[in-house]
Structure 1
């Protein structure tokens, strides 16, 4: 193995060991035979494949994976990432995280994950399509995809386009499958996608942090006022998750003092306008040199700036034992998977920093994927059956109010009240309720069992739900 590969393997093994350490901390609060807990840890099925694809005049062998971590609920659910850094340990770790996320937010899926070892930036669209379709056919051959088996979704390096190709390939190989639309989520709206899916993870991050900031005992313990208004926020990563989270925080009245990307970070203590930063990024290819902001060359240094809320939304292990004691944030919201190492967790805990864990906070994506899956199985878009009924009921109610009060309601307000719920309204409502409910379940368990951190409480909650599912299946004695 080359030095580079050894380094990569070490990184991913470390990432996997982080999950194991957090699992073991939670296991101390669970009364069940050790061997059964070990079963929950392990991945149920790992499919590693190599398949040939003709790229130009040459045949290239593609390395790819699909891992199903748990079958306590079916189908399994998890994204597919395209990255040159993809390997088995990483995909196994991410599949395990999906299991725990789904359990916490009561989404009835087992966890899975997929990956193809390619650099999509250096491959033509035509060849990405070839690879995607061939990968899908390999999954079909081994029964690793299907509405009731395993349902992929977008992840790093993939999006609506790739999900559309997966659906089309599935349908062409299995014609007549009435529920074929539900074989994959994150599709374009025209192919059965659901409105609100793109921003779902970032919006879920926002809902989770907002709920924390409404809790007196948490805010008073770190010396902050209730609510998000005026809170200073730093966000690392302006991908799909970080970008949407930044927008929602900005719109809520929070002050975005710094934004960090690979090439560096920008800082303004008075606040950054997220939309203008994104426009600058599109025009110049970088967030650096944004007007009225200070450049920070080392993006990791942005994590150490003064703020109330820090949102790492990019890579794993960015906060570690070597920089944890320099973190000045009072709240860390893990929008990325595993951004804080167990060693850093210990240091930050002693400093009194509140960490909202990834296995809860970034579950917004899989929650809305679940809504899309349900929509595809029901063959009816959200709001179609009740929208007009609600509008008529609201119209009658407004007429009664105007008659009794002898006052006319302003036209604009009347229009807003009369409008029935659109699909995006219902999706966001369901996501908001899910994130609020999940937060309070973690909080209540933490309080009842006197657990020190939200992370351990989240793992305990998740493992207990998985155990309960196995017991209902009659698998555990």
Structure 2
């Protein structure tokens, strides 16, 4: 399947249908479960710092209302589209169900590259988006609760909270309209590292299964295992941090501009600070720089954690992946074609719906 015609939501539906064959539920009920209940597309104007008016495209999808509120992050990315947001909302439904969290799945996205906007412009975009969601009843403590995602964080969540409180004065549980807020504004301690810590815990449990490790030709436990992590955002950074803390050897870290590699291991915090200071992960002292980030996925390692965006491993590059264990830190980093390749190779894939469920807080 060519990338041009690839449907992320279609891939999620294919996975759903594959799993549904193992159940005895009525086909009509299964069809209802797989549908997105509500899809909101928005186009609204904002004023840029230079005075120009720009129309912003945005989405919010509520996949399932079987339990409310709906729950799911808001991402800022130039690649955002309706198909992607629908897929991510569906994954949130299944994720919440797997870990027995009583929420329906939701997801939001704003089609912008946040690096091309000032802080003031980002605030105006976020506040206008929030006000549109309020007017359409697509946000609220008992209705739909957003959270951070790719390109967003505590700052954006605080803008959402402030906008909601301003437009809904006197609402006693208004602070529950969004999670991932700063602790000073009612946020939960540990939320920042929750998803990455969950990725570590889930992978650790797999590595503690003696029969499976024997089959893979690996020793039991995390200690000493060679780990490659793609993504130094909230998920990837904390996952790498906890892997290193537990004695794993983090040999490579990758970001969109490239990757750094050292077979003897990298200091995760030092690499993170280097990127924060220089704006690039490349040219980290004592490490080999890899300009094509996707090449890092093909390094010889025991554990690969793709923790960036979806569809980074497909039928084309999957045969070259050498990792024996792949932990899906991101949502949907493997296409169905890649899944088939790894099933034939005997590679263990820890699915995103289980592994990154720590972010449902």
- Normalising by the smaller structure, the TM-score range is over 0.9
Residue 229 of structure 2 is aligned to residue 235 of structure 1:
yes
CA distance in 1, matches of 2:241, 2:95: 24
CA distance in 2, matches of 1:327, 1:54: 46
Residue 13 of structure 2 is aligned to residue 23 of structure 1:
no
CA distance in 2, matches of 1:161, 1:278: 20
5 Å matches for 1:26-175?
A: 26-55=19-48, 56-175=50-169
CA distance in 2, matches of 1:225, 1:46: 47
What is aligned with 2:256? Answer: 262
What is aligned with 1:299? Answer: 293
CA contact under 8 A between 1:8 and 1:85: conserved in structure 2? no
- Higher relative contact order (CA closer than 8 Å, sequence separation 6+): 1
**Cα deviation digits, residues 229-266 of structure 1 (max 9, x gap):** 10111111111111111110000000011111222222
5 Å matches for 1:168-247?
A: 168-247=162-241
**Cα deviation digits, residues 3-52 of structure 1 (max 9, x gap):** xxxx98734x2x22221111111011010121211111110011112222
Gaps of 5+ in 1: 1-6, 370-477
CA-CA distance at 1:101 after TM superposition? 0.6
What number of residue pairs does the alignment pair up? 359
5 Å matches for 1:2-13?
A: 10-11=5-6, 13=7
CA distance in 2, matches of 1:230, 1:274: 15
Judged with a 3 Å threshold, the aligned counterparts in structure 2 of structure 1 residues 154 and 330 are, in CA distance, closer, same or farther, namely: same
CA distance in 2, matches of 1:250, 1:161: 28
CA-CA distance at 1:337 after TM superposition? 1.2
1:363 to 351, 357, 361: 357
CA-CA distance at 1:66 after TM superposition? 0.9
CA distance in 2, matches of 1:250, 1:323: 27
CA-CA distance at 1:54 after TM superposition? 2.7
Runs of 4+ in 1 over 6 A off after TM superposition: none
| SS, match of residue 63 in structure 1 | strand
**Cα deviation digits, residues 324-370 of structure 1 (max 9, x gap):** 1211111000001111111111111111110000111111111xx2x
CA distance in 1, matches of 2:319, 2:77: 32
5 Å matches for 1:356-395?
A: 356-366=350-360, 369=361
TM-score, scaled to structure 2: 0.96
CA distance in 2, matches of 1:201, 1:174: 30
| SS, match of residue 161 in structure 1 | helix
**Cα deviation digits, residues 425-472 of structure 1 (max 9, x gap):** xxxxxxxxxxxxxxxxxxxxxxxxxxxxxxxxxxxxxxxxxxxxxxxx
5 Å matches for 1:246-325?
A: 246-325=240-319
Judged with a 3 Å threshold, the aligned counterparts in structure 2 of structure 1 residues 69 and 123 are, in CA distance, closer, same or farther, namely: same
CA distance in 1, matches of 2:256, 2:297: 13
CA distance in 1, matches of 2:317, 2:54: 41
Gaps of 5+ in 2: none
